[in-house]
Amino acid sequence: MAIHPPSERVWWNLPIARTELIWIIVAFLWGLTMFFMMIYWHGYGKQNLSNEAYRTTPEQFSAKVQAMVEKYKVREEAGIPVVRPPPGSEVYMLARLWQWYPILEFEKNQSYRLHLSSLDLQHGFSLQPVNINLQIHPGYEMVLSVQPDKAGTYGVVCNEYCGLGHHQMVGRIYVLDK
């Protein structure tokens, strides 16, 4: 038999132990700190991608990509065109089963507006080793401003499962030191 049966005990009227009260206060203050740091970091962290997106159709976006390829193609690698658009231009990259198309060449310290869309399924755009991650959906054109500051070869990996060939869906972006 209990000293105070649960039916007669009102838990919110019981005193709180000092250590428990300290932990509640610390957790509350830490939660407030993290909340306000998220707001601060969103504005001043220089790590947020633009939220620019437009409705499109796979046919419209594919036509833009093909026009860019015809205008700026410099060579081919394994049957995939390599394009070198001028700095400051609109650049298009297309996701489709199981390929990123085309391969891009950028100049170091130059700005570009990179447009991304998918022809068929949801894909993930992961630019490595920079750690830029976006979800690419058919019917939407994601736009981000890029200004590469290091020369080298960057890998584009699909990080959203898109079918049997998902593990082979890789692309490249070359950054040239001009």
| pLDDT tens figures, 142-158 | 999 899 999 999 999 99
CATH superfamily of 52-176: Cupredoxins -  blue copper proteins (2.60.40.420)
- The pLDDT tens digits for 60-107 are 999 999 999 999 999 999 899 999 999 999 999 999 988 999 999 999
Rounded to an integer, what distance in angstroms lies between the CA atom of residue 26 and that of residue 22?
6
pLDDT, the chain, mean: 90
Would you kindly state where each structural domain of the chain is located, as residue ranges?
A: 6-44, 52-176
Tell me, what's the pLDDT at 52?
86
CA distance 24 to 2: 28
Handedness of CA 137, 138, 143, 149 (dihedral sign): positive
